Every structure is written in structure tokens, then in C-alpha cells.
Amino acid sequence: MSVVAIFGGRSEIGLEIAGRLASGNTVVLASRAGGERPDVAGTDRVLHYDFDADDVAGQAAVVDAIEAEAGPIDIAVLTFGVLGDQRRAEADVDEVVRILHTDFVAQAALLTTFADRMRARGAGTLVAFSSVAGQRVRRANYVYGSAKAGLDGFASGLADALHGSGVDLIIARPGFVIGRMTDGMTPAPFSSTPAQVAEAVVKRITDGGPVEVWIPWQLRALFFVARFVPRALWRRMPR
């Protein structure tokens, strides 16, 4: 039996991943206090913990509490994050800081906590959610994109640092995901659903493979080409 912990336990992608990994395992859903406590099909052992990702100083205490009850976390999936308000951020420093803190600083802090613990145990799986938005940052969402670019770089370096330790760090790079976070927005080419993203991530967890998982896979070629698009054209690209 493994302990699977989803940090961002009410996210659509997180719940889809939890459902696919639930059989025979303990599932932990860690999310902000005060919201719903969703069930996960396939297991009768679901634990709920209050977790405020932005409280970086308190992250380790939540992990301690989970592991005291459930045992060492074998698979930790970080699905929390905010899209933010790009238009507001262009004139509001607080909004910039909010987005960067949640989507980069809080993520890097929790990844570090888990990397340290899992390295000491010689085993474990970490999943960080980057985005194609961070592969070449676009004018239309440059605050969110820059946060994801920072996270992607951090996770890439951490994956190399963990090489040979027994810890598997997976960097998921989905494109536009059709769901609550993007409700009301026009889907981009090669969009995916939370179920499709979860399917790709779980396949990588169970089957192994490269550090980076592009979802869908066609985006890898698309963003290789994107680096050569002239800036005058790139700045007109939509979100």
C-alpha cells in the first residue's frame, strides 16, 4: 500500500489523478480550509488535511501531520496554483506578488521539503505541474507564464540533483486545460481535459519515462519551433 498525497486536493486534475491511483492505496487530499471534502472512488481510505500553500512556513508541519497518521508519503502531487488576473497585475504589484508566490515560491518550497525527505528515504515520486506557458513567455499572460518558467527551471534542476537518489521527479507540461480555471476562455489548439492530463501523468508514474511529460505530446514539437518565432510576431500571440 502506498500513500498518495495531492496538494491542491480540490483541483480537477488532482482528483482525477487521485482516482487513478486510489486502488489499494491511502489517498490524502490537502486543500484550503473551509471547502468541500470530496470523495475518491476506488478506496475507502481518504484523509483530508487543511493546507494553505501560501503559508510556506507552515508547509512542513502539514507534511509532518500527514506522515504521522498515514505513514511516509510515497507519491506527492502538487496541483495547487492560480491563473491570476493579468490585466490587474500589469498595474498592481500585489497581484504580481500573489501569482508569483503561489505558482513559484510556494511550489519550490514544498518540492524542497519533499526532496529532502524522500532523498533520505531513498525512494519517492514527486509531480510538479509546469505549463507550456513557461516555455516561451507570452505578452498575453506574462506574469503567470514567468511563474511557470521559474518553476520549470527549478524543477528541472532539482530533478538533476535527485538523479540516482531513488526519487523520481516528474515535470508535467500541459497546454490549455479546459476546466474551472479556464472557464469562459476560448480553448487554445491542442487543448486537453483534466482527465487527459491525469491519464498522461499516471501513465508516467506507473510506467516510467523522461522527466518532462508534454500534454498532449504534440506540444513538444510546437514549442521547439516557438523559440524561433520573431519577437514582433510572438508578442501578438494570444494566451
Question: Angle, nearest 10°, between helix axes 142-162 and 93-100?
Answer: 30
Active site residues: 144
C-alpha dihedral sign at 57, 62, 65, 68: negative
CA angle, 135 then 137 then 143, to 5°: 125
CA distance 8 to 6: 6
Cell of 117: 525527505
Consecutive H or E run containing 212? strand 212-215
Q: Which of 155, 150, 189 is nearest to 172 (CA)?
A: 155
CA distance 75 to 9: 14
Cell of 25: 492505496
The CA-based dihedral angle spanning residues 63, 197, 85, 180, taken in that order and rounded to the nearest 10 degrees: -90
